[in-house]
């Protein structure tokens, strides 16, 4: 086998040919043994720069930034519709170390959608979630669940504003029953109101007010003459 001198050492010639053939900078299309396909930029035989990956098994496509073989930067991830076969976006936004990280938008089945911050592939930080029934949550998230301060607005415009923990109402909060013209303000624990006060609020504008208004609480002062 032919040999060459390389940095004072002797090595097979095919090592030299291999170094010259390494993908670096230019765009190349490479097919994996399992049928996956990548077209884009490379650095030291790693996906690096702009590129598009197609997974044969699922048909999913990622198009965007890469860094040393992993999705890193801005990019979009799409999957084919099982019926129409048309591609629909699942996520568009920022990535880090092959996971969603930073601001991004995710589209779920049933017209659900999340717009906001991510960390380690999970909804974490500030975000807004649109649910299938028309409800909207806007506020803080931690590991895919509402956590911190946030507001949940229901389809009938009633809303809760206050604390959340692990996806449930927790801590001081207010629930506006705008359909009845009432407001409950109190303390919540695991989605259950533990104590508080219920008062009339916007009763004159409410579409379905209660039959009688809530009596006002009057404080009496007692003393001796």
Residues 74-93: what's their mean pLDDT? Answer: 94
How many residues are given for the chain?
225
What confidence category does residue 217 fall into, taking pLDDT thresholds of 50, 70 and 90?
low
What percent of the chain clears pLDDT 90, i.e. is strictly above it? 72
pLDDT at residue 25, as a whole number: 59
pLDDT at residue 6, as a whole number: 42
In 131-190, beta strands by DSSP E:
136-142, 145-153, 159-165, 168-177, 182-189
Torsion of CA 98, 100, 106, 108, to 10 degrees: 60
Residue 70 above 70 pLDDT?
yes
pLDDT tens sequence across 42-68: 999 999 999 999 999 999 999 999 999
pLDDT at residue 24, as a whole number: 58
Residue 19 above 70 pLDDT?
no
What is the overall mean pLDDT for the chain?
88
Show Cβ contacts of residue 160 under 8 Å, excluding neighbours closer than 6 positions: 151, 152, 169, 173, 174, 175, 176
pLDDT at residue 145, as a whole number: 98
Q: Beta-carbon neighbour count of residue 36 at 10 Å?
A: 15
CB 100 within 8 A of CB 94: yes
From 3.30.200, 2.20.110, 2.60.40, 1.10.3470, which CATH number describes the 1-93 domain? Answer: 2.20.110
pLDDT at residue 27, as a whole number: 81
Residue 207 above 50 pLDDT?
yes
Compute CA distances 3 → 30, 57, 128, 219, whole Å: 29, 42, 63, 101
Q: Beta-carbon neighbour count of residue 19 at 10 Å?
A: 9
Residue 89 above 80 pLDDT?
yes
CA 114 to chain centre: 6
pLDDT at residue 12, as a whole number: 53
pLDDT at residue 115, as a whole number: 98
pLDDT at residue 4, as a whole number: 39
CA distance linking residue 39 with residue 66, whole number of Å: 12
Maximal C-alpha separation, the chain: 119
Residue 132 above 70 pLDDT?
yes
Residues 149-157: what's their mean pLDDT? Answer: 97
Residue 142 above 80 pLDDT?
yes
What confidence category does residue 7 fall into, taking pLDDT thresholds of 50, 70 and 90?
very low
Residue closest to 98 by CA, chosen among 156, 154, 53? 53
Domain limits of the chain?
1-93
CA distance linking residue 137 with residue 149, whole number of Å: 11
């Amino acid at each position: 086998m032919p040999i060459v001198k390389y940095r004072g050492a002797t090595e097979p010639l095919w090592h030299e040919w291999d170094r010259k053939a390494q993908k670096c900078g230019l765009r190349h299309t490479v097919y994996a043994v399992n049928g996956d396909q990548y077209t884009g930029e490379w650095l030291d035989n790693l996906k690096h720069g702009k590129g598009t990956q197609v997974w044969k098994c699922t048909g999913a496509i990622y198009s965007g930034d890469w860094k040393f073989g992993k999705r890193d930067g801005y990019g979009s991830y799409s999957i084919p519709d099982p019926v129409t076969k048309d591609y629909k976006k699942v996520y568009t936004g920022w990535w880090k170390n092959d996971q969603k990280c930073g601001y991004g938008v995710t589209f779920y089945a049933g017209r659900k959608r999340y717009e906001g911050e991510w960390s380690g592939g999970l909804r974490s930080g500030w975000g807004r979630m649109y649910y299938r029934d028309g409800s909207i949550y806007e506020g803080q998230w931690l590991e895919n669940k509402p956590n911190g301060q946030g507001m949940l607005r229901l389809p009938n415009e009633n809303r809760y504003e206050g604390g959340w923990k692990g996806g449930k109402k927790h801590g001081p909060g207010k629930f506006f029953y705008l359909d009845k013209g009432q407001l409950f303000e109190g303390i919540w624990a695991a989605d259950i109101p533990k104590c508080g006060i219920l008062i009339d609020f916007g009763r004159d504008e409410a579409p379905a007010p209660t039959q009688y208004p809530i009596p006002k609480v009057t404080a009496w002062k007692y003393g001796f003459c």
